[in-house]
Chains A and B, each alone.
Chain A
C-alpha cells in the first residue's frame, strides 16, 4: 500500500479546495483596478484597411484609447514562435475573420464595448482562400507576401513548408505488394474550447512591465515581450495564473503584446478578457487532408506507407508548421515498415492561425493511416487486431530507423485493451467493434529548472515553471517532493506562474512536465538529500559517505534512522534557515535529427470501440470505449485515469460532432457554444474504461512517461472502424455526424467495400 501523498498514490488534487469553493482565482477573477479593453474586428475574412475613424468612440467620456497599428512602433512589431509574422494589430490588411484591427480601452467593460462598436473601419473586402483547394489553386491569392520569405522557392505559393521523411524503397515494395489500399481521409478544423476564454492584462511595473496571461508558456511570453520592447528579461514579469484549461491553445502569445503597448501608453493597468467567440477566432487545430497508399503482403505485413498530408494552417505561422512537421513524422505508426514516404505540407490560408492542440498534428494523420490498415485487413481477410500485432514494433525495434527505438511493451498494452473490450467475442446484432493504435513523439528538446526549499520545520516549497492547466502538474510535483523529502503532502507548496520568482522552464507542452519538470524537482530533492547527509554527518561526527537518505529517512552508519526534521533541528541551529536545492533537467537539441532531437519517449495508446448506429437517423451510440496507454509509471493513478478518459472523450468531439463551418466568403458561421457542439454529459459512451500499463520504463521520475495525448489519437479511426463493422458503411471524412453517417448508409451497396 502506497503511503498517502507519496508517488503512486492518488491524493486529492493540490489546489483542489479552491476549485470547489470558488476561491481559485483565474485571470479574469483577479481584482485589479484596471481599464477594460475590447477588440475591434471586421465581419469579413480578408480586407484592406483604408482608414480607421475613432472620433465617435473617443468622444465618449471614459474612453482612453483606440489603438491601431498606426499607433505602434513602425514597422508594426511582429512576433511568433516559429516565424515573426503576426503583427500586434492588423497591419494594412486583415487576413482572417476575427483579426483585430484596433484595441479600445475604456473605464468599464460596457464603455469599451460601446466604443468598439463606434469605431468605423473603412475597408475593402479582398478575395480570400479558406480551403485547401482554394489555397492550392493556381493563381490563388497569396496569404503571405513573398518578400517575407526571401530565398524560399515556395514563396510564390501558399505552401509555407514541405516536410519530407522516409526510408526504404516505396516503389520497389509497391511492386511486390499483394494488396494496396489507397484513399483520402479528411479531418475538420476544430477548436480547443477551453472553458476559460483567453484573458490578458498588463501594467507598468516600476521601470518594467508586468503581464498577466492565461498562457501555458510564461517564459516564452516573457521573451516575446522583452524582445518587442527591447527590455531586459528581468524587467518583464509574467504572471501566469493556473489556466482554466489549455489543451495547447494557450501555448503561445496572442494579444498580450497589444495589451502591453496599451498599458504602457496609458501608464495604467489594462485588461482584455476575450469572449468565447473571440477565443474561437484566436485558436484552432489545423484541418487536414491525408492521402494514403498502404501496401500489404499476403500475410498482412505492411510493406510500405506512402502518406501525403496537407494541413490547412492559418494566416500566420504561430506554432502550426511545427505541428505539421512533428505531427506527420510518425505517420507510419508504431509498426515496423520497410519503406515509408511521408510528405506533409503546411498550407497557409485566410483563416484563424492554427496552433497546438492536444495530439499536436498526430490525430489528423493517424485517422487516415489507421483507417487504411483497417481496409487492408478486410481485403486480406485478416483480423484487424491480428494484422496490427503482426506489424507492431517490439521493445528496441528501430521502427523509425534513425530515431528513438520502441521504448515500451506495446503488445502488452494491446492485449490489455483487447481483453477489456472482449475483442473477438460475439456482439449484439447491429453492433460493431473497432480498434486503433496510436503513437506520438514526446518532447524533442527540453530545459526545466526547479528550486526546492526544505524549510526549518520540515515543510517544503517547490518552484516549478510548469503551468497547471488541469493536468494536475502541481499535485504530481508535490508528490515527488513529498516522497523524496518525507514531508506530508499538505506541507508542500508548489509555486508556479511568476517569472520573477520561479526559475526558467521551457514550456508546458508535449506531455513533458511529469518527465522533464519532474526530473528537475527530483534532482533538486536529491541535492537536498545530499545536504541532509552532509549535515547529519557533521552533527553526529560520522563519515558522510556512510549516511544514506532515502524517501525522507536519514540513516546513520550505526543504523539509527532520523527524520529530516531531526537533522535540520540539530544542523541548522539557533539561526534556523533552510536548505536549498536547485534541480535541472535538460534535453539538448540534436541538429542532425529531422525533428531537431529524438523524442524523450513515445506515447502509445490502443483504443477499442464498440458502437451501433441508428439506421433511421445515422446517430452513433458508443457502447463501450476502452483506452489503454503505456505510461511507464503512474505517479498519480487517478490523475492518469482522468487525463486519459478526458482525452478519449475530447477525441469523440472531433470524431462525432465538432467542426468549424464557413460561409462562401470565409467567415466562420458557427462561432460560440450554441452552434459549435462539444461532448456533454449526454454524449458519452455508455461505458468508458481506461487502464495504464506501467513497466517503469520511462525517462521521468520512477520510470514515468508523458501521457494524456495518446488517448486522443485513436478515437476517430476506432469509431469509424466500429461503424463499418456495424453497418458496412465506409466513411473517410470527419466528423461522423448523423447527417454524414446517414448519407453513407444510403450509399451502401454502391460501395464496393
Chain B
C-alpha cells in the first residue's frame, strides 16, 4: 500500500506492507535506524516517536496508520543547522547516556514532555518518561538533563560529521607540494 507521510519535515511517499508496523517502515523501508527495536509490545519505549506531535510506540502503530501524518524521530531532533538541540546537549552534559540504546526513545518522550510542559516538575518528568526503560538506569541523570534543557541555555555542540575538523589549531601539516617529493 502506498502511504504518504512527513518524516522529520520531509514528505515521503512509500509502498508499505499492510501488516508492517511504523517501526518496520522507519527502520527497514526508510533506513531511519535511530528508532530502536526491543520489546515489540509497547512496554520498553525504545521505539518511541512523535506522530502528529503525540508520543507513540512505533511498534504498536501500523505503517498504514501513519498515512497522511507527520512523524518525528530522533533523527529529527537536532537543529536544522546541525547543532544538537538543548535537550540532546543536556543529555550529554549531564551524563544521561550510557549504552545509548534507549536514548532515542527517551529523547523523543522528553521532547514531547517539554513541548507540552516547558518547565516540568520532577514528578511530571518521572511520569512523562515512565514508558521508557533504561537498564543502565541512568534515570537520575536523564531527569537532570530534562531539567537542564527546560532551564534553557543554547547548545553549541555541532553534530555534523566534520564539525571537529574545523578547529583553528596548528596541525603541523605541511603543504601538499611538500608531501609529493617522491
Contacts and interface: CB of A to CB of B under 8 A. Distances in A.
Contacts of A641: 95
Interface stretch (A22-30, A118-126, A698-706, A736-744): A22-30
Interface residues of B, number: 68
A12 interface: yes
B164 A490 contact: yes
Contact of B129 (A15, A197, A490, A681): A681
Contacts of A574: 174, 178, 181
A533 to B, nearest CB: 19
Nearest to B107: A20
B88 A20 contact: yes
B140 interface: yes
Contacts of A648: 137
Nearest to B84: A20
A643 B17 CA distance: 42
A673 B38 contact: yes
A680 B133 contact: yes
B151 interface: no
Interface in A320-335: none
Judged by DSSP, the binding face of A is: loop
Tell me which of B40, B84, B99, B169 has the highest count of chain A C-beta atoms within 10 A of its own C-beta. B99
Interface in B130-182: 130-143, 157, 159, 164, 169-174, 178-179, 181
A31 interface: yes
Interface in A662-688: 672-674, 678-682, 684, 688
Nearest to A108: B28
Contacts of B78: 21
A23 B46 CA distance: 15
B120 interface: no
A681 B132 contact: yes
A453 B171 CA distance: 16
B101 A194 contact: yes
A639 interface: yes
A21 B40 contact: no
Contact of A20 (B95, B97, B99, B173): B97
Interface string A182-220: 000000000011111100000000000000000000000
B92 A20 contact: yes
Contacts of A242: 99-100
A527 B53 CA distance: 55
Interface in B92-136: 92-93, 95, 97-104, 107, 125-127, 129-136
A194 B135 contact: yes
Contacts of B1: none
Judged by DSSP, the binding face of B is: loop
Interface stretch (A164-172, A264-272, A466-474): A466-474
A243 B173 CA distance: 36
B77 interface: yes
Nearest to B98: A470
Given A19-B100, A21-B84, A470-B100, A638 B95 contact: yes
- In this complex, the interface size class of chain A, counting residues with CB under 8 Å from chain B, is 35 or more
A679 B43 CA distance: 12
B92 A16 contact: yes
A458 B91 CA distance: 30
A688 B44 CA distance: 23
Contacts of A29: 27, 33
A709 interface: no
Contacts of A397: none
B99 A244 contact: yes
Contacts of B93: 12
A457 B173 contact: yes
Nearest to A12: B92
B180 to A, nearest CB: 10
B140 A684 contact: yes
A10 B141 CA distance: 14
A673 B100 CA distance: 19
A259 interface: no
B172 A569 contact: yes
B104 A276 contact: no
Contacts of B77: 20-21
A649 B139 contact: yes
Contact of B36 (A12, A196, A456, A645): A196
A469 B135 contact: no
B41 interface: yes
A682 B127 contact: yes
Nearest to A13: B97
Given A457-B171, A469-B99, A21 B136 contact: no
Interface string A99-128: 000000000011000000000000000000
Contacts of B13: none
Contacts of B171: 457-458
A328 to B, nearest CB: 26
Nearest to B158: A17
A20 B172 contact: no
Contacts of B28: 109
B15 interface: no
B74 interface: yes
B74 to A, nearest CB: 4
Interface in A141-199: 192-197
A194 B84 CA distance: 27
Contact of B34 (A12, A22, A576, A647): A22
Tell me which of B27, B31, B100, B181 has the highest count of chain A C-beta atoms within 10 A of its own C-beta. B100
A639 B99 CA distance: 12
Contact of B41 (A20, A673, A679, A681): A673
A23 B38 contact: no
Contact of A672 (B39, B74, B133): B39
A650 interface: yes
Given A21-B88, A22-B34, A457-B173, A680 B130 contact: yes
Contact of A22 (B19, B75, B130, B169): B75
A245 interface: yes
A12 B84 CA distance: 13
Tell me which of A192, A471, A673 has the highest count of chain B C-beta atoms within 10 A of its own C-beta. A673
A205 B170 CA distance: 41
Contact of A245 (B37, B41, B135): B135
30 contacts: A12-B157, A13-B92, A17-B84, A17-B92, A19-B97, A20-B159, A21-B77, A22-B33, A22-B35, A22-B75, A31-B33, A195-B44, A196-B36, A244-B36, A245-B98, A276-B38, A276-B44, A458-B171, A470-B100, A490-B164, A565-B170, A574-B181, A642-B95, A642-B138, A643-B98, A645-B137, A674-B39, A679-B139, A681-B126, A681-B142
Interface of B: 17, 19, 27-28, 31-41, 43-44, 46, 73-75, 77-78, 84, 88, 91-93, 95, 97-104, 107, 125-127, 129-143, 157, 159, 164, 169-174, 178-179, 181
7 tightest A-B contacts by CB? Answer: A22-B34, A244-B101, A470-B99, A19-B100, A649-B137, A673-B43, A470-B98
Interface of A: 10, 12-13, 15-26, 28-29, 31, 109-110, 192-197, 242-247, 273, 275-276, 456-458, 469-472, 488, 490, 565, 568-569, 574, 576, 638-639, 641-643, 645-650, 672-674, 678-682, 684, 688
Given A12-B92, A194-B99, 18 more contacts: A16-B97, A18-B100, A21-B34, A21-B77, A22-B33, A23-B75, A195-B99, A242-B99, A244-B101, A458-B171, A470-B98, A574-B178, A648-B137, A673-B133, A678-B135, A680-B130, A681-B126, A681-B139
